[in-house]
Copies of this chain bind each other. A is one copy, B any other.
Amino acid sequence: MTTAKRDTYTPETLLSVAVQVFNERGYDGTSMEHLSKAAGISKSSIYHHVAGKEELLRRAVSRALDGLFEILDEEPARVGSAEGRLEYVVRRMVEVLITELPYVTLLLRVRGNTDTERWALDRRRDFDHRVADLLRAAADVGEVRGDVEVRLATRLVFGMINSIVEWYRPDGRGMNEREVADAVVRLVFSGLRKQD
């Protein structure tokens, strides 16, 4: 775990250490003592930056949620055929998941024991619904298949995308976010079967 000197500390580096600890120990299992040790600064220095660990959680999951919601505001997610917009959103979800990996990992592990966790779960659900709406729109105009129920299809596609946090490691040796996104888009839209 990285430690840093007190005078080099910014809210940003503190957040990055906190997310790492939350992901390793679980949010419930993390105390201010753990955060202080991991950051190499005193608890009072942490309280200088934030009101407590729940504020760090809120900032961390906000970063993941903001990254996801911003996708929906990007032009290719707003303009064009429903299928094209959906494809763009799926691709960008994979890219955001990989570029914000620790933050999205934390978001996906949130359980709902505190106000902040329940708020994060609500926002996640909102995002899921926005993507499900896009899928429904594409099915309504016959651009995507209508024989898989929209909510189930959304869950399965999200399941595939979210599972990337279980194995992706940004060590520079594996695929980059673009290559993983290409593979996901191919599988989600065309499936494994060879196209004739």
Contact A155–B142 (Cβ < 8 Å): no
Expressed in whole angstroms, the Cα–Cα distance for A195 and B188 within the complex equals: 13
Contact A183–B152 (Cβ < 8 Å): yes
Which residues of chain B are near A164, meaning CB under 8 Å? 156, 159
Contact B156–A184 (Cβ < 8 Å): yes
Which residues of chain B are near A86, meaning CB under 8 Å? 192
> Is A194 in the interface zone, CB < 8 Å from B?
yes
Expressed in whole angstroms, the Cα–Cα distance for A188 and B153 within the complex equals: 11
- Nearest CB of B to A27, in Å: 14
Contact B152–A163 (Cβ < 8 Å): no
- Nearest CB of B to A30, in Å: 15
Which residues of chain B are near A160, meaning CB under 8 Å? 156-157, 159-160, 163
> Is A189 in the interface zone, CB < 8 Å from B?
yes
Q: Quick one: which of A166, A167, A192 has the most chain B CB within 10 A?
A: A192
Q: Which of B146, B163, B191, B194 contacts A187 (CB 8 A)?
A: B191
Q: Which of A128-145 contact B (CB under 8 A)?
A: 135, 138, 142-145
> Is A51 in the interface zone, CB < 8 Å from B?
no
Contact B186–A188 (Cβ < 8 Å): no
> Is A83 in the interface zone, CB < 8 Å from B?
yes
Closest 9 CB pairs of A and B: A159-B163, A191-B191, A160-B160, A190-B191, A144-B192, A148-B183, A189-B193, A189-B191, A159-B160
A–B complex contacts, Cβ < 8 Å, 25 sampled? A86-B192, A135-B192, A138-B192, A142-B194, A144-B194, A145-B193, A145-B194, A145-B195, A146-B194, A152-B180, A152-B183, A153-B192, A155-B163, A155-B167, A156-B184, A156-B187, A157-B187, A157-B192, A159-B159, A159-B163, A160-B163, A163-B163, A188-B191, A190-B193, A191-B191
